[in-house]
Amino acid sequence: MRAMHPQEDWVKPLKEDRVRPQMKCAQCGAVTTRMDLHLKKQHKLASGTEEYTTLMGKATPYVREPEEDEDLERVLREYR
């Protein structure tokens, strides 16, 4: 007989609910949570190469600017 958790709908959390920060690519400006995958898939760079490690080091945390929120709100108002 299989041991059950007291709640049948319980789901084990993944890696303690880890949150990855959004990063901005230094080469193209794209915003992503997985810079390693972005560089491999979009820029076709192999991990460990000099360009790959340089771009990983140059990636900066993404912070949304207040102007972006205002532009989004304006566009949504015009759409309605």
Q: Whole-angstrom Cα distance, residue 69 to residue 65?
A: 7
**pTM assigned to the model:** 0.61
Closest CA to 40 of 62, 18, 25, 22: 25
Sequential pLDDT tens for the chain (80 residues):
455 555 666 666 666 666 788 999 999 999 999 999 999 999 999 999 999 999 999 999 988 777 777 888 888 888 87
